[in-house]
Structure 1
């Protein structure tokens, strides 16, 4: 009797001739299959094929913030593939035709940021129902469609950040970002440093709890005092309410910094763009991921500064070669 003639048990599987390790590489140089996580990441890299909420897609294209886009949809100003939208609860891709007031939106543009020195007397809104002059009415014409990161009161001056990316605006507005916002404040009244130091523990005013505030008494000028204040929450009229509770009447308020970005010597009413490399460095990986910032997309109205920032500065040569060597190479 040979081994082939031996009776087999029912249900037994024949022995495999080629037993391979599950984790080992395949034969003939084949690469092992990608794990599920890697396949999911590869699938998500195709941004055009991935359907997302229309407000998110339009915000990334620089139309407006998500909240403003949802309001525009409810007002009947947005059409999708020729049909007017009645609800913002719809998913789209860049292959869909989206129009605002009859004008097609562009594709996703590179994330950009501008510093603007806001003068007093301007409202930080796209359209004021009272007919007052707005920030966006006074921006340079060459600027693309932008939105503000946070707001400044009509009488508040100083640094206002502008961006074309709704995701970045939303990420930087959140208190969880942890960016400190500094203000120069002129207020009528008297106060000492000890009273200002108590603001580090927070304060409650009319039932509203304000978090820790850094305050430094700079100088006294007549019946006014100048104070530098730093806060991270930025609640509505926070500085005026807090100092009012201390017996001071704020008569001038200037924001001098927002996180790592400084007002510096930027003239009033002027705008300057932050270079792309600087913006990436200041945001860092965490904020870039939260905002879904895109630094690889094109720039549609690229000014000279945007073109210059893409070119790497040439590394200085350690020593100059003699002109005669160049002439010899050219002759050769």
Structure 2
């Protein structure tokens, strides 16, 4: 036993699962695992190292772990520093002492959701194409859009670096010479959404990423960050098998 170990029900309650009594019931019902094994009442764990799942979803108990959502403004570089002195992601996390990674990229002219974390395993898996994490974008594009474009994109088109298809596509609104569309892809190739829409004749004027997996941008204002909640974290870790 180490000095950091605590009763499991206390750890669960501190992480927001419920009261200690409710946490004890979860343990008694066999719904909690620690390091891959079903937990028992009276168990003690080190919250900084234990891998805890409740109903199959990961519970983050290490207070040193950072998981943030950032609404990246246009003109900000998707890196923690920039040799040219342009605004970077570091400008928005000055209060975070840990080294953090950004999950994926948005080009300088694009806006919207970026995830920031110091969990390297999570960041790597979320970016790896084998896990097929869906990303949702809203794009203002040139011209009226054919109602049949969604079917064409679902079947797939071939770009200069290979074929690509979308998971979902819909027209949200139409103006005189522009349209607002939503597109969902799990591809991570560079500028994939811009290149795809340009290829089918609808160059992008504005691009905003609104979701990564089940994490939504929501009403987060440009240039601000928030902590992910336990529900969002559980879904992300489950999606990548952690």
TM-score between both structures, scaled by the size of structure 1:
0.51
1:58-69 to 2 correspondences below 5 Å: none
1:284 positional shift: 4.7
User: Hey, what does 1:143 align to over in structure 2?
Assistant: 96
1:191 matched to 2:171: no
User: Hey, what does 2:235 align to over in structure 1?
Assistant: 282
1:299-318 to 2 correspondences below 5 Å: none
User: Equivalent of 1:256, from 210, 225, 236?
Assistant: 210
1:288 positional shift: 5.2
Answer with 1 or 2: which has the greater Rg. 1
User: Hey, what does 2:53 align to over in structure 1?
Assistant: none
Give the conservation status (yes or no) of the 8 Å contact 2:81–2:89: no
Give the conservation status (yes or no) of the 8 Å contact 2:127–2:188: no
Higher strand share: 2
1:158 positional shift: 0.6
SS of 2:145's partner is coil
The whole-number CA distance in structure 2 between the counterparts of 1:286 and 1:188 is 35
Taking a change above 3 Å as real, the CA distance of residues 237 and 284 of structure 1, as seen in their structure-2 partners, is: closer
TM-score between both structures, scaled by the size of structure 2:
0.69
User: Hey, what does 1:176 align to over in structure 2?
Assistant: 130
Aligned length: 184
1:206 positional shift: 2.3
Superposed CA RMSD in Å reads 2.5
The whole-number CA distance in structure 1 between the counterparts of 2:145 and 2:236 is 37
The whole-number CA distance in structure 2 between the counterparts of 1:140 and 1:237 is 25
1:271 positional shift: 0.5
Give the conservation status (yes or no) of the 8 Å contact 1:183–1:253: yes
User: Hey, what does 2:57 align to over in structure 1?
Assistant: none
The whole-number CA distance in structure 1 between the counterparts of 2:183 and 2:172 is 10
1:75-114 to 2 correspondences below 5 Å: 110-114=64-68
Which has the bigger relative contact order, CA under 8 A and spacing at least 6?
2
Gaps of 5+ in 2: 1-36, 38-45, 50-61
User: Hey, what does 2:7 align to over in structure 1?
Assistant: none
SS of 2:122's partner is helix
Higher helix share: 1
Taking a change above 3 Å as real, the CA distance of residues 206 and 263 of structure 1, as seen in their structure-2 partners, is: same
Give the conservation status (yes or no) of the 8 Å contact 2:166–2:183: no
